[in-house]
Amino acid sequence: MAGKQSCKDSLPRSGLEVVSEPGTVPNEGGFTLIELIVTLIIVGILAIAIIPRFADRADYDARGFFDGTLSVLRYAQKTAVAQRRMVCVGFGVSVVSLTVASTFGGACNTPLAGPNGVAPYSLVAPDGISFAATPANFSFLPSGAASLGQTFSVTGLTGQSITIVAATGYVQQN
């Protein structure tokens, strides 16, 4: 009966079967113990290096207030051009607020609504964050130019400042 095949041998192979030598363990998919240990060591090193950066929120708050101030000032300049009205920018130690002239050529007497429709449009810094020196109040003219050019920065954010170019009203990050 050497020529006869068993039922099992006559079935076609699916290609997914594990074929191994008799007496050996088939190669199962997975990770070796060494690979798992090395992965845990790398994750541990990254945790030691990165987690302390998230513990101090002041850096993120300072950057957020800086970016928010840039956005408020750029919005004010674009609104002045779009509405052909003067837009006044008022600064406090840790706040930026906007007002707009209700008529062309008039004084700033109406709180400016923000992009979400809420008036007045202002930005208040988180606790512990402020301007390094309180910037001077100024206005954007209907042409887009600024009444005053100046450069200022936010505390806790080194090497970054905001510059307003008087002639064009351009608000740039330095």
Q: Which long-range contacts (CB under 8 A, 24 or more apart) does 20-26 make?
A: none
13: in domain:
no
Query: How is residue 101 written in tokens?
Result: 């002239």
122: in domain:
yes
When divided into structural domains, the chain yields a total of 1
Name the band, by pLDDT with cuts 50, 70 and 90, for residue 156. Answer: confident
169: in domain:
yes
Closest CA to 78 of 124, 120, 115, 110: 115
12: in domain:
no
Query: How is residue 97 written in tokens?
Result: 């607020």
Q: What is the CATH number of the domain that holds 107?
A: 3.55.40.10
* Residue appearing with tokens 């068993």: 6
| Parent domain of 134 | 58-173
How much is the pTM?
A: 0.70
Q: What is the pLDDT of residues 118-127, one digit of tens each?
A: 888 999 999 9
Query: How is residue 108 written in tokens?
Result: 């700033």
- What pLDDT is stored for residue 23 in this prediction? 66
What lies within 8 Å, CB to CB, of 154 at 6+ separation is: 62, 65, 66, 69, 125, 129, 130, 131, 132, 160
Query: How is residue 73 written in tokens?
Result: 């000032």
46: in domain:
no
- What pLDDT is stored for residue 27 in this prediction? 64
23: in domain:
no
148: in domain:
yes
**How much is the mean pLDDT over the chain?**
87
85 vs 19, more confident: 85
What lies within 8 Å, CB to CB, of 29 at 6+ separation is: none
